[in-house]
Every structure is written in structure tokens, then in C-alpha cells.
């Protein structure tokens, strides 16, 4: 197993390099770069990408001072200064090699528009994403696995039918719509004001005066609604996945044999079926975690005024703030690859019969 882990760790390097290279190449063809963004802001035009035409976006060769949208009439020296400031005076290959070398040393540079170190912005946003990703995934698994097992055992019963209705409704409701509903009902929208509607904790002046156990309560008080909104879709999908996985295993011959030997239903379910049925559930853990941790949290972060990694990366992509874009992409990719390895190790933990070494051989 040690050799397999080592090979997977080594493969992270070329995989991450390929992710960065493909995205870097794609950004070379994306219109509305940082230079255009600065020019648009100077002229009060907002987002420059709204003003492209066919010729401007990628037509024929233009003079140096007119190769950017809105640059006509501006001094060429000013455009050259902007290019030097953003590093565009260097060839793309040199810029990419420099970026990768800096990332290897965990030097993510400075944001072009926020004027802060990228690593500081990422670290500041990390608690929000960790809170949403960790608690939402944990809550979804703690609810869905026992519920899915119960539904499989009681398949076709009244309990299975009414819980299936709840699960289908939960799956059909978009996460952002459910978040708005929670805000309206419980965060002072139109009815009750039980929970706060913004922030990960109370204001600093209040937070500093709380005891350690009051800080824990304040933290969970603030994340209750966003975590609930993030969990709803994952909970529904995971419950049905668990139920179907257990139903498939319960019908197999080894379960009938175990029951014929006189084993109790609990021994059959948790001593034999659980180990096999949970494999497919564990396989979906990385995707569920990464989805909630990053992409799935963008709207939730916006609605609850939480500055997490998803919102940070999204805003940076709109602004063409490439240091943040590639910095968060590097972190996202690295965490995703490591979580995939952890998922494989969890396979072995659940079912020791699995041997990745022999499969590769």
C-alpha cells in the first residue's frame, strides 16, 4: 500500500502541472483581460467584456496602442506601462514558467486589483469554505447513511414512501432558493429573526468579549442557515444512493446465506452488507466535498455575505485578476487530488480485502 500511496503522490505533480497549463493557455484567448479592465474602469464603462464586437474581440492585426478595447486615443507609453505592470511585456512561456516556479515555493504573488497578497486573501477566505464544506458534508453523511439504510430495510413501507417524498422535494429545491427561504423565515426577512443573516461570527467588538464556549455557540449560530442550505441537495442525493446500494446488496446470495446461518438482522446489515454497500457511497465523497467546498458554495456565500474561496475565485475571474484565479485554482486542484487519494485509503479502511497494489500490478 505504501508504494501505491507514493505513486499517487508523485502523480499529483504532473496532473497539477497539466491543470495549470491548460487553464493558462485558455486565458491567453479570453477577451477582456486586466489591461482592458483598467481602461474600462478609467472610462467608467464597468465590465469591459460587455463591449466586444467581432472585429475587436479577435479580428485582424491592430496597432499596438489599439490592440485593447477602449485604448484608442491613449498614449502608447501608458499602455506599455500597464503591460509591464501586469507582466504582459514578457512572452507567455516565460510568464508561465515564472508562475509555476513561484507556486512551487508557495509564492502566489499579489492581487492586481485588491493590492493584497494572494495567500493572505486565500487564508482569510479559508475558514468560510472549510466551515461550509466540512459541516455540510459531515451533516449530509450523518443523516443520509442511517436514513438510507432504514429506507432499504423498510423498502415499500409507509416510512419509505413518506421519506422518499421528503427526499424528492429536497432534491427538487435549488440550494439558493432554499437559502432564500431560510433567510425569509428565520433571519428577519418577513417572519422570525432567530439567526443572523451575515458573517461567520459576530462583530469583532462583540466576539472579543465572549468566553470560549460562547464563541463556539456564536460560530454555530451564524453557520446554521448556510450549512443547512448547502446540505439540502447533497442530503437528498446521498440518501437515495445509500438506499439503492443497500438494496442491491441485500438481494445477493451471501446475505441469504448469512441469514440462513442464524445471524441477526443487525449482524447481517452491519457485519456483511455495510462493508460492500458503502463502497459506492465512499466513492462519491470527494465529489460531494469538493462541490460543497468550492463551486456549490458561491451562491450560498453571496446570499449570507460570507467571503469564502468560491466567491473569491468567482469575483477574480470576472475582474481578470489572474494571480487570484491561478492561486485559487492551484489550491483547488491540490486539495481535490489529495481528497481523491484519501478516498482510496478509505476504501481500504472500509473493506481491507481491496488491494490497490495488486490491481495496478
Query: Residue by residue, what is the 3-state secondary structure of 279-325?
Result: HHHHHCHHHHHHHHHCHHHHHHHHHCCCCCHHHHHHHHHHHCCHHHH
In the chain, where are the structural domains located?
31-107, 118-360
Q: Which CATH class is domain 118-360?
A: mainly alpha
Q: Residue 78 to residues 42, 56, 294: CA-CA distances in angstroms?
A: 12, 20, 38
User: pTM for the full model?
Assistant: 0.73
> pLDDT by residue for the chain (361 residues), tens digit each?
677 788 888 889 999 999 999 999 888 777 777 777 777 666 655 444 444 333 333 333 333 445 555 555 566 676 777 777 777 778 889 889 999 999 988 888 888 888 889 999 988 888 888 888 888 888 888 888 889 888 988 888 899 899 999 888 888 887 778 888 888 888 776 677 788 877 788 888 888 888 888 889 988 888 888 888 888 867 887 888 888 888 888 888 888 888 888 888 788 887 778 877 777 777 666 666 666 666 556 788 888 888 888 788 888 888 888 889 898 888 888 888 887 787 777 777 766 666 666 655 5
The CA distance from 113 to 121, in Å, is: 12
Amino acid at each position: 500500500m505504501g508504494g501505491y500511496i507514493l505513486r499517487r503522490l508523485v502523480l499529483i505533480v504532473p496532473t497539477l502541472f497539466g491543470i495549470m497549463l491548460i487553464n493558462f493557455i485558455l486565458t491567453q484567448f479570453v477577451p477582456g483581460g486586466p489591461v482592458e479592465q483598467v481602461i474600462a474602469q478609467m472610462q467608467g464603462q464597468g465590465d469591459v467584456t460587455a463591449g466586444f464586437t467581432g472585429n475587436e474581440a479577435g479580428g485582424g492585426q491592430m496597432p499596438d496602442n489599439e490592440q485593447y478595447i477602449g485604448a484608442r486615443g491613449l498614449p502608447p507609453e501608458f499602455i506599455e506601462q500597464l503591460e509591464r505592470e501586469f507582466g504582459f511585456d514578457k512572452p507567455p512561456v516565460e510568464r508561465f514558467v515564472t508562475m509555476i516556479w513561484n507556486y512551487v515555493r508557495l509564492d502566489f504573488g499579489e492581487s492586481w486589483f485588491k493590492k493584497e497578497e494572494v495567500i493572505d486573501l486565500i487564508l482569510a477566505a479559508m475558514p468560510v469554505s472549510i466551515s461550509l464544506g466540512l459541516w455540510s458534508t459531515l451533516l449530509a453523511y450523518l443523516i443520509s447513511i442511517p436514513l438510507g439504510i432504514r429506507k432499504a430495510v423498510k423498502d415499500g413501507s409507509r416510512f419509505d414512501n413518506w421519506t422518499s417524498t421528503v427526499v424528492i422535494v429536497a432534491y427538487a429545491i435549488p440550494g439558493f432558493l432554499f437559502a432564500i427561504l431560510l433567510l425569509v423565515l428565520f433571519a428577519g426577512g418577513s417572519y422570525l429573526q432567530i439567526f443572523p443573516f451575515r458573517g461567520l461570527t459576530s462583530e469583532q467588538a462583540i466576539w472579543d468579549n465572549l468566553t470560549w464556549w460562547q464563541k463556539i455557540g456564536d460560530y454555530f449560530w451564524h453557520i446554521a442557515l448556510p450549512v443547512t442550505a448547502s446540505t439540502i441537495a447533497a442530503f437528498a442525493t446521498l440518501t437515495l444512493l445509500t438506499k439503492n446500494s443497500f438494496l442491491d446488496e441485500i438481494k445477493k446470495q451471501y446475505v441469504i446465506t448469512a441469514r440462513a446461518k442464524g445471524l441477526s438482522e443487525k449482524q447481517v446489515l452491519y457485519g456483511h452488507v455495510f462493508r460492500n454497500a458503502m463502497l459506492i457511497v465512499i466513492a462519491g465523497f470527494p465529489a460531494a466535498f469538493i462541490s460543497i467546498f468550492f463551486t456549490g458554495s458561491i451562491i450560498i456565500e453571496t446570499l449570507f455575505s460570507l467571503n469564502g474561496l468560491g466567491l473569491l475565485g468567482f469575483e477574480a475571474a470576472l475582474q481578470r485578476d489572474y494571480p487570484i484565479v491561478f492561486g485559487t485554482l492551484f489550491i483547488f486542484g491540490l486539495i481535490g487530488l489529495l481528497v481523491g487519494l484519501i478516498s482510496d485509503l478509505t476504501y481500504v479502511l472500509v473493506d481491507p480485502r481491496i488491494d490497490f497494489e495488486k490491481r495496478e500490478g
